[in-house]
Amino acid sequence: MPYILKKDYQPFQEPIQALVNKLAEDTDSFADRKKLRNIFKYVYYEANRKAMPALRYWTLAVAGGVMHNIPDEVRRRLKLIKVPKLPKKFKKYDSLIDSLASAISKVGNDYNETANPPKSYPGAYAGMENFSITTVFLRVMFEIARREGNKVDLPFLRTCLKDMDKMTLAYYFHVAGPYEDEQIRKDTNGDLPEYIEIRQLLGITD
């Protein structure tokens, strides 16, 4: 972060500062933290929703990803949590995972090639990924229920969803984070001044 060139910062400055000023005005210079949280939740939700160029699956996937990335990046850059662990390896599943990933890539590419205009839907793979992984998860849950008197194991299901959240965070730290650091080191991108200043206030030097 950021993924825009420094020269392109300017168009954002006025609307950003207008929001900051209004938040200060409505919360007694940020003293009313409860009200500030509630208003910011609204700003966060609506800004992400209204920034989508169209209501399509790929825009929903991108928006959802951004909404995960923003708090995850803050946690990582400001060292608010420990680096999450990667999952334990089960190498015998790698060939099966590779086959699924290959199918996701192939069908996603097919959708992109046949889009109108052609190659205008590079995010198509996201829908195939959602479909495939969701189906694996729900099919396993169904098989467990079928073998246990048609009873859905809700505690286990909820635990698995929490595990997915943990892996989402691990993915950010171990895959997205290093890429973002690489982009920050580019002179044309650089780091957000606000990140630099807050990291200094927190005594973060690396």
The pLDDT of residue 180 is above 80 = yes
Q: Is 77 exposed, middle or buried (0-12, 13-18, 19+ CB in 10 A)?
A: buried
Residues 29-64 have pLDDT tens digits of: 999 999 999 999 999 999 999 999 888 888 899 899
Mean local confidence (pLDDT), 185-198? 89
pTM (whole model) above 0.85:
yes
Q: How far is CA 79 from the centre of its chain?
A: 18
Does residue 2 carry a pLDDT above 80?
no
Listed by start position, the domains of the chain span 52-201
Q: Which helix (H) or strand (E) holds 162?
A: helix 154-171
Tally of helices (H runs) and strands (E runs) in the chain: 8, 0
Residue in the block written with tokens 């650089």 = 190
Query: What amino acid occupies position 172?
Result: Y
